[in-house]
Amino acid sequence: MSPQDTAEPAGTAEAPGGFAVSLDNFEGPFDVLLNLIARKEMDVTRVALAEVTDEFLAYTFRLAESGVDDPRTEEQRLDERTGFLVVAATLLDLKAARLLPSGEVESREDIEALEARDLLFAKLLQYQAFKRAAADVGRRLAEERVHVPRDVRRGEGFEDLAPRLEFSMTPEALAEIARAAFGQAKPPVPLEVGTGHLHTSRVTVAEECETIAARLAESGTLTFAELIADADSRLVLVVRFLALLELYRRNLLLLEQEGETVLARWTGEALADDDDAGAVLAEVDDYEGTEA
């Protein structure tokens, strides 16, 4: 379905400053839909994200082709499109995470998956908080822009009423006082900022690329089962699979399938030892894909 063929959602053509959606189970502004999902009053698995995306594209095309007088700048319109892409990607990840079983959690893999789902909810709430804060700052800037400070000068005849400033200390004496004060002062103690609340990546594609490259350079050919035999979690397994695809894309290995067995054959340089793995993967160091 092309964006032009999508049915027009109610109220979007006359409102260039906002985007509204019209679905089977919801009709209204897009921000209201986000609020319902964030407060868990609407199940994200029941939201047709493909229809929302089609309606947003149709909304964008209509504004460009209908000649509606849009008071926003091109930068503001670009910010709206970029923000929609960020939120849509978050909702897609959240929808996938919500499909996980919600029964008793026993394995560490299930706990990690549920933690990832909670992080996606936090990301959605963070997006809404920043959006509201930006709107409040914009409103206050607009209000303060019309305020002009009053410039009142001292009237004639009052100039000599203020006492004159008499500075009797010499610059040398002032420097001596400052030197004595600074000499007694203790050096500032650096503040330690806690980082326990930050969610850092524990497994990266680049590290798993080095692991696979070192093993294949030593053995020549390994099965996929052998490459993931020491994966201690579902997270490591998924990231190592992504690393295998990345090395294949870089033409550093070949993948062959014999029945149900997938073989990986190294085609890059031979490594003198495991410590040289990083040198061979210089091309992969700029990988900017998803970190788990």
Report which of residues 280 and 234 the model is more confident about.
234
Mean pLDDT, range 250-271, rounded to an integer: 80
Q: Is 221 helix (H, G, I), strand (E, B) or coil?
A: strand
Q: Is 72 helix (H, G, I), strand (E, B) or coil?
A: coil
Round to whole Å and give the CA distance between 197 and 165.
54
Round to whole Å and give the CA distance between 251 and 195.
39
Round to whole Å and give the CA distance between 245 and 258.
18
Is residue 7 within 8 Å of residue 16, measured between CB atoms? no
Helix runs in the chain, H state only = 30-38, 49-65, 74-98, 108-144, 171-184, 205-219, 224-227, 234-249, 277-280
* Residue 275 in this model has a pLDDT that exceeds 50: no
Round to whole Å and give the CA distance between 55 and 30.
11
Q: Which residues contact 252 (CB under 8 A, 6 or more apart)?
A: 213, 266, 267, 268, 280, 281, 283, 284
- HSE of 33 in the Cβ direction (CA atoms, 13 Å)? 24
Please state the domain extents for the chain.
3-99+109-139, 205-284
Is residue 213 within 8 Å of residue 273, measured between CB atoms? no
pLDDT at 104: 47
CATH architecture of 205-284: Orthogonal Bundle (1.10)
Round to whole Å and give the CA distance between 235 and 213.
19
166-191 pLDDT, tens digit per residue, is 778 888 988 998 888 888 877 777 77
14 pLDDT tier (thresholds 50, 70, 90):
very low
196-248 pLDDT, tens digit per residue, is 766 665 778 888 888 898 888 888 889 888 988 888 888 888 888 888 888 88
Is residue 97 within 8 Å of residue 120, measured between CB atoms? yes
Is residue 68 within 8 Å of residue 16, measured between CB atoms? yes
pLDDT at 166: 79
Mean pLDDT, range 256-262, rounded to an integer: 84
Report which of residues 27 and 4 the model is more confident about.
27
Q: Tell me the CA distances in angstroms from 229 to 205, 213, 240, 246, one per residue in order.
A: 17, 15, 11, 19
Cα 240 to the chain's mean position, in Å?
22
Round to whole Å and give the CA distance between 113 and 136.
35
Q: CA Rg, the chain, in Å?
A: 31
